[in-house]
Structures are given as structure tokens and as C-alpha cells.
Structure 1
Amino acid sequence: MIPSSRLRAILSAALLGLALMLHVSPASARLRDADLCEEAARRAARATGVPQEVLMAITLTETGRRTGGGPMRPWPWAVNVAGQGHWFPSRAEAEQFVASVLDQGRGNFDVGCFQLNNRWHAANFASMHDMFDPDANALYAARYLQDLRGPSDDWSSAAGAYHSATPELARRYRSRFEMLLADLPAAAAEGVVARVNVFPLFRAGDVRSTGSLVPLDAPARPLFGE
């Protein structure tokens, strides 16, 4: 029989180990949140056939920032209002901010990993909470890109149109998109199988415009002032 004093010591050590395992530092939590957009992009690529590297480059172009001095990563809890980008530490804070924007009667803003525009796309989601969901956001963006690409294989032009129908804005966006695409590791393209777009989302003549959080002529800045 184990003496009670030793049993208490063993139990205390076990509880301490469990506490350490369960403890998540803010930096670790941010890294996990940064994974969400990338994982959602991979799943959307498998579901739609849009090249994985295209989706990775789009989400980086839209919300990419450096975390803790590391590589550029996309961020899911991001909002752009009138050209001003906002990155929030949590989904709840991002949704609270959007609620305040809507209360002000302002409906033209972009949200999530792929910065979907509320004015043009919110009607396709059950709620703003769903629109922020990384998987829903990524899948919608992938189908949108398919629609913009049409029968061609010109994903760069589709990326430009994803940002704006204004030629000069689209050109600047394409330039950044192509730079980030070229910097992606080769592994980003693995496992992508082409599929026919069976989810046409947009009618001819629909106005399409989004505003990425990342200024197209500015260097990347860290998340949350790091």
C-alpha cells in the first residue's frame, strides 16, 4: 500500500502536469488561430478543386500578418471597415466589433480569413457568426474564385477580380498575390484534385468588390502590435 503522504505527492505532481498541459499561453492560442485559415483553405481546395496554393495566397493577401516575429500568417478574426483593417485576438471580439459597426448603420465591411464583403455576400450566410467561420468563409471564397475564373485557368486574373472590378486596384492586388504565391512552399499544391464548379453563386452583372486588410503598397506589420 502506498503511504498517504507519497500518494498525495504523486497526485499533486499529476495535477500540476495536467495544469501545465491545459494551460495555453496567449502566444500559443494565436498560433492555433493562425492555423485556422490555412486549414480551412486546404479543406476548401479539396472540396472545390481550386488550387490550394491559390487559396493560401489569397488569405495571406487579405489578412496576412507576422506573429511574434515569425512568418507571415493569415488571421481569421479580422475586419476591414472603410479601408481600415482591424485584427482581433478572438472571434468574440471581432463579432462584437462588427455588431457595433452595424449598429452605426454601416454595412460595407469585410470579415474573416478571406475578407468576404458583408454588403454583397452576407445574404448567403445564416448569420455573421457563420460568415466568420473559417471553413464557411474559405469554401465560399473558393467557389467565388471559381465563378470569377470562368472557363480559363487564369487564377491570377480571378484573384484581381476577387479584390476589385477597378483595373488598377485589381492589378496592384494581383501583383501582391503573385508575390505571395511565388513564396509559398511547393507542398501547398499537394493533393489538389480538379472538380467542376457545381455551386454557381453569382449572377452575371453582380457587383463584386472587397477590400483586403493589407495595404497593397505597405510592408507587413505584426499582429496586435507585437
Structure 2
Amino acid sequence: MPPLARLAAAVAVLSCLQIAGGDARASSDAAGASRLCDRAASDAARRHGVPLDVLRAISRTETGRSGIGGLQPWPWTVNMEGTGRWFASLDEARSHVFRHFKRGARSFDVGCFQINYKWHGAAFTSIDDMFDPGRNADYAAAFLKRLYAETGSWSDAAGAYHSRTPEHANRYSARFERIRATLPDTPITASQGWPIPRTGAGRPRTRTPAHAPLIGRGTAVLGSLVPLSAGAAHPALIGLDERDADHARTQP
């Protein structure tokens, strides 16, 4: 092989190795981010007496995207006034929310369990607080436990978590149960996952309004985010095919 050809071949091999290494790091990073939600779910399940598989299924129904080992939750998910997106990092997700918050947006969902700011934000000290996987999961678990006490069924509680309209609640419950049935039996321990990122110096900490209701009684509570493509590997728009005009957020 001529010297130039050998050089070109060597460069091609190195490029492939670099790409493979980058893909491996990206996969590892994605798996670590997903484990933030599962670790938070595990902690919240113990605190509130909610079955772990219920919380894990809810987080996947709300934010799940295809990853290593199947459908995985994504902590940097935002649904802004009906448009859902996965973001590559907490900073990107936070910047998106604050940009829209400054223009007046108040109805948006954030985090592993897609907690809605307008109707549930008063339970948190700030929007940053809502993004924290542990606090996001803790609120979701407490809320689901109250819904279980009301409905007597975790499947029905999951449906009510999404909507008070039977048609929408039943559709959500069916998806929740399908996802729940695919989860492995091995629990996620509190020691797994990344350290939860904290707000850095100079980050905006927009406080929630003191009068915002914690729990409403209208047509919908929270909402599911359904990926456009099961094979999506990067942040992408999420098809909100289970939402409609009836899914405004729960009114007080």
C-alpha cells in the first residue's frame, strides 16, 4: 500500500475510534441522567410507601425515551404550554424554562415526573427546586399516595395523576400498565446514579407565587410525554398525542 494510502487508512481508523469513544461517553452520560430519576423514585418510594414500580412506570410514562435497556426516564424534560422537549442537560432545560417564564409563561411541566408549575409550584421554593429529581419525585410520590387513597388502585391513581377526565385517564392508565409490566424486578438502590446537580452561583431562582394551589380538582393533573420515535437517541420534540384542549392543567 502506498504511504499516502496507509496514512489515510490510519486517519480513518483513528476517526472511527474517536467517534466510537464519543458515542460511548454519550451513552454513559445518558444512562447516568436516567438513573437520577430511578434513584429519586427509589428514595421517594421508601419515604411514602408507594410501590417502586409504580413510580418508575410513571416517570417513564411521563418522560420516557428509548435507551440502553429499553424505555428510560429523562430528568431534563420540559413541557412548555403543550410542547414537550428532552434537553441534553439541566442547564439547557433550565434556560428554556426561564426564557419562557420571562415572557409570561406559567403552565409548564418539568422534571422526572413532569410537575406542573402553575398548579403545583407553590410546593417548591423555586423552579430550580422543581427540577431537582429528589424533590420532584418526593412530590409525585406524595401526590400519588393521596390519589391511591382516593381511588383504591394504583392504576386508577396513575390515571388521575394525568387527568380527571375518564377517557384520558383510562388511556394513560393503559400505557402506564404496559410500561409497568416491562420493568425488571431488580430495585434501584439509593446509592445508584449521579449526584443531583445543584444550582450554581448566579443562576436565577424564580420563586413560585405564594397563592398557587398545590392540588387542583379540574380536568387534568400533569400529563404524559410520548416520543415521536421510539429510537430517538438525542433530545427531540415529543409528540403530545394524548393532549388536547381539555388538558389545560387542573384548576383550583
Normalised by the length of structure 1, the TM-score is 0.76
Q: Which amino acid aligns with 1:39?
A: R
Report the AA paired with residue 211 of structure 1: G
> What residue identity is the alignment partner of 1:154?
S
1:214 aligned to which of 201, 226, 234? 226
Could you say if the C-alpha distance between residues 202 and 146 of structure 1 is closer, same or farther in structure 2, counting changes exceeding 3 Å? Answer: farther
> 2:35 aligns to what?
35
Q: CA separation of 1:153/1:125 partners in 2, compared to 1, >3 Å: closer, same or farther?
A: same
Query: Partner residue of 2:205?
Result: none
Tell me if the contact between 1:80 and 1:212 (Cα under 8 Å) persists in the aligned partners: no
% identical equivalent positions: 47
Asked if structure 2 preserves the Cα contact closer than 8 Å seen for 1:36 and 1:76, the reply is: yes
Post-superposition CA distance 1:5-35 (Å, at most 9, x none): xxxxxxxxxxxxxxxxxxx933322211111
The 2-side partners of 1:92 and 1:189 are apart by 26
SS in 1 for 2:78: strand
Contact 1:145/1:159, CA 8 A, preserved across alignment? yes
Aligned-pair CA distance for 1:60: 0.5
CA distance, structure 2, for counterparts of residue 71 and residue 141 of structure 1: 23
Letter paired with 1:168: E
Is the Cα contact below 8 Å between 1:109 and 1:117 reproduced in 2?
yes
Instruction: Give 5+ residue unaligned stretches, structure 2.
Output: 1-23, 190-212, 237-252
Contact 2:112–2:137, Cα closer than 8 Å, also in 1: yes
Letter matched to residue 37 of structure 1: C
Match of 1:173 in 2: 172
Residue aligning to 2:102:
103
Q: Is the 1:64–1:220 Cα contact (8 Å) retained in structure 2?
A: no
**Structure 2 counterpart of 1:147:** 146
1: CA distance between counterparts of 2:186 and 2:27?
26
Displacement over 4 Å in runs of 4+: none
Could you say which residue in structure 2 is the equivalent of 1:224? 234
1:75 & 1:172 partners in 2: Cα distance?
Answer: 22
Equivalent residue, structure 1, for 2:64:
64
CA contact (8 A) 1:80 1:86 kept: yes
For residues 158-186 of structure 1, the C-alpha deviation after alignment (integer angstroms, 9 at most, x for no partner) is: 00000011111111100100001111112
SS at match of 1:107: coil
Q: Report the counterpart of residue 26 of structure 1 in structure 2.
A: 26
The alpha-carbon distance between structure 1 residues 222 and 122, as it changes in their structure 2 partners (threshold 3 A), is same
Paired residue secondary structure (2:85): strand
Contact map agreement 1:156 1:174 (CA 8 A) in 2: yes
Partner in structure 2 of residue 20 of structure 1: none
> How many angstroms apart in 1 are the aligned matches of 2:234 and 2:60?
16
Cα distance in 1 for residues equivalent to 2:149 and 2:135: 22
| Contact in 1 for aligned 2:86/2:235 (Cα 8 Å) | no
Name 1:137's counterpart in structure 2. 136
Letter in 2 for 1:212: S
Aligned to 2:126: 127
Amino acid at match of 2:35: D
- Structure 1: which 5+ runs fail to align? 1-23, 191-200
In angstroms, what is the RMSD of aligned CA positions? 2.5
Which range moved further: 26-35 or 107-116?
26-35
